[in-house]
Structure 1
Amino acid sequence: MREAVDDFADHLSRVRNRSTHTVRAYVTDLVSLLDHAVRMGCTDLPELDLGVLRSWLAKQRTTGTARSTMARRAAAARTFSAWAHRAGLLPADVAAPLASPRAHRELPTVLRADQAAALMDAPTRAGRTTDAGDTAGRATDTSATPGDTGDTAGRAADGGGTAHGDTAATAVPDGDAAPDAVLLRDRLLLELLYGTGVRISEACGLDVADVDQARRVVRVLGKGGRERAVPYGVPAQRALDAWLADGRPALAVPGSGRALLLGARGGRLNPTTARRIVAGWAGTAGVPRVTPHGLRHSAATHLLEGGADLRAVQELLGHSSLASTQIYTHVSVERLRAAYRQAHPRA
């Protein structure tokens, strides 16, 4: 069975071109399934049947597993069963009739347009405060650079250092340039996330060469290795110009490579730190707590509210299915309904 798990993981990664996260999740689900099968007396893979699969899902339900997680685990079982049957490891595709609970899709939380604008302006306002003479605050006030505690994971992924030491970047650059550079970096990060609607992993994975400044288009490598071109606006271009001129050179070190967004120690900015940065600036701006994916939701919703075509939004977001994009139409309708209830005398 161990060999089957390894071969399935290789199939997902090399043939299906699934992301590392998807492969890890499916393999974890498969290990759980096979462990349950062994406990039920299924010692060989050909003995796996629909009854074992249903028993496995039923056990998940009794332990309070979320419906979305159960739906993913059922999908993993079906994918494995189909692959194992084609590979001759199973006599039949036993999971083909396996039903899974429909995941409850909650409407995503999005910012209003004015709240998004306040969030985008937060680093600029912080920069004006420090320019006014608050030099001590730059060294001690965490709101000036919220959430940026380093880029350890990013350095490891980018080949610029290790988890316990940054050999490529031995120290944060000296002087007042470092705090100012981090502010410019944070401003660009926010503008990219909201201005393009890219995923946080896509934003952190950008290289300088991925940005076409002449056409104001960024080349993004999305899920499944699919590449797409996403336009960005004038505010993002201004943030990009300032970052490339004054921010990135102040943080860059020999090990920075081609990364567009850098952490405080010069390595590629990692998604975990980026999430803390977004949450920190949301608190500074006084807007509801928002995640990078919340900014993606906000961008899509505001595009649709402004009259954008649903297919165009699908292309911008990199959704493989239009069904994934249609949820944002529900968000817009819900906002209209809320405004109606608040304003109409007969609501």
Structure 2
Amino acid sequence: MEALERAVRGYLDHLAVERGLARNTLLAYRRDLTRYLGFLEARGIDGLAGVGERDVGEFLATLRAGDDEHPPLAASSAARAVVAVRGLHRFAVRDGRAGSDPAREVRPPTPPRRLPKALPLADIERLLDATGGGDDEPRAARDRALLELLYGTGARISEAVGLDVDDVPAGERDTVALTGKGDRTRLVPVGSFARSAIDAYLVRGRPALATAGRGTPALFLNARGGRLSRQGAWGILNAAAERAGLAGRVSPHTLRHSFATHLLDGGADVRVVQELLGHSSVATTQIYTLVTAEKLREAYAMAHPRAL
């Protein structure tokens, strides 16, 4: 088991240092590979050289079916785990820890293609107006600034809470520097509504919150004066959704999905949206074009006399 654990540590170090994978991706891979090591240990396998193609295939089957300790995984989660396992075995061969790759022919399940869910603009406005209190109340100012930023830039929640004050320099708040997956940084325009909300927060919200802390460069602070966490930001979004009557319709990515969909609805080029979202491939962004195409079909069916 110790040899297996060393191999996993070496692989994760390789991903972090040489491939530059994001921290959240590394944590997910670590969870997947810890489960894989437990599976191999239960089969009496103590080194990657002793793993066969059948072992990898049966591990995939347990991911989808579940076992005594784990519930079944969705196709997308199982696919990620298989990618982690295949990468581990490829690394082991290249690093001289195994002579062959038993996972080479094992293919991850194809996740069903789900269209991202975007809110209509009227619901977005209700959500933004439901941050509670006036702008002179520190947490209300922070919450408004956070949600305006998420919708105004399409930032992931992790990117928003990772921002420092210097990422939105004074007098130049028409852009914000967002650091996404793989530690890639991109400059994204900030609209006037988000800019005004951030200004109000920096003047009337952040200084009051900062008094409870020990000093941090973070843009968004929690009630203790430290950096707001992803869970804290999600809690803010969820609370606003409940107040706006949108409970059950909002997820951490809802504002990001709405940002992309509304841009495409407004005529933005898909490659521009790709850059704004920080997608490495335009194919990832093109799923949003399916959403707008579906809206066109619905409008056609409702309005054209020969549609039905």
The answer, yes or no, to whether TM exceeds 0.5 is yes
Structure 1 vs Structure 2 CA RMSD: 1.9
Report which stretch shifted further, 251-260 or 70-79.
Answer: 251-260
Instruction: Evaluate the alpha carbon distance shift between residue 113 and residue 5 of structure 1 in structure 2; reply closer, same or farther with a 3 A threshold.
Output: same
Where does residue 257 of structure 2 map in the other structure?
A: 297
1:43 Cα shift?
A: 3.3
1:221 maps to amino acid: T
* 1:321 pairs with one of 267, 273, 281: 281
Q: Secondary structure at the match of 2:233?
A: helix
Distance 2:5 2:261 in 1: 45
Task: Report how many residues are paired.
Answer: 296
Q: Which runs of 5+ in 2 are unaligned?
A: 67-71
2:126 maps to amino acid: A
* 1:30 pairs with one of 29, 33, 37: 33
Q: Secondary structure at the match of 2:186?
A: strand
Where does residue 182 of structure 1 map in the other structure?
A: 139
Give the TM-score normalised by structure 2.
0.90
* 1:250 pairs with one of 208, 215, 237: 208
| Residue-by-residue CA offset, 1:254-289 (whole Å, 9 max, x unaligned) | 523111111122211111111111111122223463
1:127 maps to amino acid: G
Contact preservation (8 Å) 2:141, 2:205:
yes
1:342 Cα shift?
A: 4.0
Where does residue 127 of structure 1 map in the other structure?
A: 134
Larger RCO (CA within 8 A; separation ≥ 6): 1
Distance 2:22 2:98 in 1: 26
Give the TM-score normalised by structure 1.
0.80
Contact preservation (8 Å) 2:48, 2:92:
no
Percent identity for Structure 1 against Structure 2: 46
Instruction: Evaluate the alpha carbon distance shift between residue 41 and residue 265 of structure 1 in structure 2; reply closer, same or farther with a 3 A threshold.
Output: closer
| Residue-by-residue CA offset, 1:11-59 (whole Å, 9 max, x unaligned) | 1222221122222222222232233233334333211121110111122
Contact preservation (8 Å) 1:193, 1:292:
no
Contact preservation (8 Å) 1:184, 1:247:
yes
Note if 1:270 corresponds to 2:261.
no
Where does residue 74 of structure 1 map in the other structure?
A: 82
Q: Secondary structure at the match of 2:130?
A: helix
Matches within 5 A, 1:1-347: 1-63=4-66, 64-123=72-131, 126-127=133-134, 180-212=137-169, 213-214=171-172, 216-253=174-211, 254-287=213-246, 289-345=249-305, 346-347=307-308
2:289 maps to amino acid: T
Contact preservation (8 Å) 1:216, 1:237:
yes
Moved over 6 A (4+): none
Distance 1:339 1:226 in 2: 39
1:88 Cα shift?
A: 0.4
Q: Secondary structure at the match of 2:253?
A: helix
2:291 maps to amino acid: V
Instruction: Evaluate the alpha carbon distance shift between residue 39 and residue 282 of structure 1 in structure 2; reply closer, same or farther with a 3 A threshold.
Output: closer
Where does residue 69 of structure 2 map in the other structure?
A: none
Contact preservation (8 Å) 1:256, 1:262:
no
Q: Which runs of 5+ in 1 are unaligned?
A: 129-176
Contact preservation (8 Å) 2:173, 2:190:
no
Distance 2:262 2:241 in 1: 18
| Residue-by-residue CA offset, 1:77-99 (whole Å, 9 max, x unaligned) | 11111111100011023222211
